[in-house]
Amino acid sequence: MTAIDLRSDTVTKPSSGMRRAMAEAEVGDDVLDGDPTTRRLEARVAELLGMEDALFFPSGTQANQTGVALLTAALVGGALRPTSPHVPCASAVAAENTHNAAGGKVMGVDVMAGIVVAAGAAGLPLHLDGARLWNAAAALAVPISRLVAGAATVMVSFSKGLGCPVGSCLGLRAAERPRAWEIRKRLGGGMRQSGILAAAALWALDHNLTRLGEDHDKARRLADLLSDCPAVRPSVPETNIVMVDLLRERDTASAVVPKLAA
């Protein structure tokens, strides 16, 4: 029997088709004067998100940091509110869809719209951590752009369920691209022949995006199978994450791992 590593959607390895696309990618120097494949990926993602522009990053963490840095800068003008040492001062609102720690939970279109309204009423811009936004859109059967409406910046990952080795994009307004580019550079995220990585992401958008529902079906089937095992108590997955409740004292990792293996 072959063991399948189910610890995370990050342990996937590039398929042969993806590796071929990477090997054949047209490249340039993206830090100097541009990489054509990276630019194609950025345009494709901006279109998918329904946003003006997107910038390619080596990691989601760096894209999140850049998004938050952009919004905080935008807020300086709004910092005219009287500040008080007794009141914490919010500078931006961040939301995550799907929610990783909550077990891949999906935030629906209405909930997102409510957050957009609340953030707008407070004068705060919204950053969306959409590392698994593809999964949310697949689970809800809505276009990804519907889950983005109203966000100032949006991070999406290629290295999670889409199966790429590296990469995220930050969706943003076109006017913010130069500033985001500068922040990315300062964070050490400038990449040169990044088209090799962007080609993997484009390949994943062409071949893997429509297959996320298969992952969700398999996650549900795994949870179903595990639910026959009283010591494990799996969550009911909404997307591609199955959580196992280990809160009971006797359910130490060393006790549960052999049960899961069985």
Contacts with ligand PLP, residue ranges (CB under 6 A): 59-61, 64, 96, 100, 129, 131, 157, 159, 168
User: Which C-beta is closer to ligand PLP: that of 6 or that of 89?
Assistant: 6
- What residue number has its CB nearest to ligand PLP? 60
For the chain, how are helix, strand and coil distributed in percent, rounded to 5?
Answer: 45, 10, 45
Q: Tell me if 173 sits within 8 A of 55, measured CB to CB.
A: no
User: Which C-beta is closer to ligand PLP: that of 104 or that of 232?
Assistant: 104
User: Would you say the C-alpha torsion 212, 214, 219, 223 has a positive or negative sign?
Assistant: positive
User: Which C-beta is closer to ligand PLP: that of 9 or that of 256?
Assistant: 9
What is the smallest separation between the CB atom of 93 and ligand PLP, expressed in angstroms? 16
What is the smallest separation between the CB atom of 159 and ligand PLP, expressed in angstroms? 6
The three-state secondary structure class of 129 is strand
Q: Which pairing describes strands 53-57 and 153-157: parallel, antiparallel, or unpaired?
A: unpaired
User: Which C-beta is closer to ligand PLP: that of 51 or that of 132?
Assistant: 132
What is the smallest separation between the CB atom of 107 and ligand PLP, expressed in angstroms? 12
Q: Using N-to-C axis directions, what is the helix angle for 177-186 and 60-75, rounded to 10°?
A: 120
Report whether the peptide linkage leading into residue 153 is cis, meaning its omega lies within 30 degrees of zero: no
What is the smallest separation between the CB atom of 224 and ligand PLP, expressed in angstroms? 24
